A = this chain, B = another copy of it.
Amino acid sequence: MGTKLTSREKDYSKWYNEIVVHADLAENSAVRGCMVIKPYGYAIWEKMQAELDKMFKATGHENAYFPLFVPKSLFEAEEKNAEGFAKECAVVTHYRLKNDEDKPGKLKVDPNAKLEEELVVRPTSEAVIWNTYKSWIQSYRDLPILINQWANVVRWEMRTRLFLRTAEFLWQEGHTAHATEAEALEETKLMNQVYADFVQNYMAIPVIQGTKTASERFAGAQETYCIEALMQDGKALQAGTSHFLGQNFAKAFDVKYATAEGGLEYVWATSWGVSTRLIGALIMTHSDDNGLVLPPNLAPIQVVFVPIYKGAEQQAEIAACVEQMKAQLEEKGIRVKFDNRDKFKPGFKFNEYELKGVPLRVAIGPKDLEKGTVEVARRDTLTKTVVAQDALVEFITDQLETIQGDLFQKALAFRKNHITEVDDFESFKSVIEGKGGFVSAHWDGTAETEEAIKNETKATIRCIPLEAKKEAGHCVYSGKPSTQRVLFAKAY
């Protein structure tokens, strides 16, 4: 009965793809590398957006909207940024189609409608935004500018995977302008902290905050802060990044401000973003072989009622009882669904909501009606409890909070178990190949060593953790001296 997923042990990657499709989150589209985000998947994104948006506004940011297209001449202005994205740009070259004389009913690109200057579909918006900020900023009075944009972006990836890596994806990108380096750095860190808080408190995913090495930095950034999460298969996933851009974009677009003292200085910049990729992290952190497991704080449906009945009369009786409980729960702000569809059996529904990761399922049959009880099943632990109907609101309120906490603790325990300190390269390789997870090791700080390790093991430096203690040691690869450990892992 119902959909049986490939187990994680058998084929983790297949298991992931099956969950995405069978839990109705997303599917591939007719456009190479672009996905359709289905209503259930989009509802999770809406919850994430709502919470993040509140957090951005609470830290003084406003939303705005900038053009989808970046003229090539703007795109190439900040050279490192341009170089970083040039290889994966969708480019608009024409603005009209016309009838194809050779093929009736078909269209072709009109060669007479070639653009004078090609337009890049934004892979990120620094260029178009800094070109705009140029006219917004004259004096220190115009600073800071604290703006966020919710948008779609396009990066022409060759190998795509639903949510994790798609040619088009949805994201938010913050772009701020500041008078001083210190203020911009503070903003960079603040937004990385906001991401950490969101991912930990809403997504129940523990993250490590750190900075990227020069080779893993955002193209055009002077420093990239990040939050790194660990998936159940032992691979890391970069869940969000916050970039200190220095004066690179201000210089590329000639954005200066008059200081209070009468001087003229380049503006300091940050940018930061998270995307629909987070949904991939959500799936891979909590789900199991039965399907999706959602943390209550982001679940579109937190509680589903499934009636068990024979005949219309019983159905009506149960429905009346459920509607009452549902109303009580909704009054507490709990998101409830009552699945009273007659064309599907309870077993089918159980399977469906298990697959879709609804945190709590409440079953109620004729005997429950007699006894004034219901049966509540937890999705994460698959445990069942019989609860008195008049104690249900309290029980559920409590359980939702418990599940949220338990999911985080479980993921945290897994991660703790999967940070391995190693001091020699043989152990390094054996952990990366075997147990997986983060390897905490000394590194000599050179791009050469980083590259060599990557070539030999496919592991990259995920971050230089902010909270790592200073500790003298020797590089796990070169043996050269090092002052602190960094985190390596294979990554999504």
Residue of B nearest to A120 (CB): B97
How many copies the complex holds: the figure is 2
A35 contacts the other chain (Cβ, under 8 Å)? yes
Cβ of B95 and Cβ of A91 under 8 Å apart?
A: yes
Cβ of B88 and Cβ of A31 under 8 Å apart?
A: no
B interface footprint on A72-109 (CB within 8 Å = 1, 0 otherwise): 10111001001000111111111111110000011101
Which of A34, A63, A68, A156 has the largest number of chain B CB atoms within 10 A? A68
Cβ of B92 and Cβ of A90 under 8 Å apart?
A: yes
Given the complex of chains A and B, what is the CA–CA distance between A152 and B37 in angstroms? 16
The 8 Å CB contact of A156, one of B95, B120, B152, is B95
A391 contacts the other chain (Cβ, under 8 Å)? no
Cβ of A71 and Cβ of B170 under 8 Å apart?
A: no
A42 contacts the other chain (Cβ, under 8 Å)? yes
Q: A68-B168, A76-B105 are in contact. Are A31 and B63 (CB under 8 A)?
A: no
Cβ of A31 and Cβ of B67 under 8 Å apart?
A: yes
The 8 Å CB contact of A36, one of B65, B71, B79, B151, is B65
> Which B residues are in CB contact (< 8 Å) with A87?
96-98
Cβ of B72 and Cβ of A97 under 8 Å apart?
A: yes
Residue of B nearest to A63 (CB): B42
Cβ of A86 and Cβ of B63 under 8 Å apart?
A: no
Q: A64-B37, A107-B75, A147-B39 are in contact. Are A91 and B89 (CB under 8 A)?
A: no
Given the complex of chains A and B, what is the CA–CA distance between A428 and B308 in angstroms? 68
Given the complex of chains A and B, what is the CA–CA distance between A451 and B277 in angstroms? 51
Q: A91-B109, A96-B89, A98-B86 are in contact. Are A30 and B74 (CB under 8 A)?
A: yes
A245 contacts the other chain (Cβ, under 8 Å)? no
A141 contacts the other chain (Cβ, under 8 Å)? yes
A348 contacts the other chain (Cβ, under 8 Å)? no
A423 contacts the other chain (Cβ, under 8 Å)? no
> Which B residues are in CB contact (< 8 Å) with A66?
29, 36
> Which B residues are in CB contact (< 8 Å) with A128?
29-31
B interface footprint on A144-155 (CB within 8 Å = 1, 0 otherwise): 000100011010
Cβ of A62 and Cβ of B89 under 8 Å apart?
A: no
The 22 sampled A-B contact pairs (Cβ below 8 Å) are A29-B66, A29-B67, A29-B128, A30-B67, A30-B71, A31-B69, A34-B67, A35-B67, A36-B64, A36-B67, A37-B64, A39-B63, A45-B65, A46-B63, A72-B107, A87-B96, A88-B95, A88-B96, A89-B96, A91-B95, A93-B93, A152-B152
| Ranked 3 nearest A-B pairs via Cβ | A39-B62, A34-B67, A37-B65
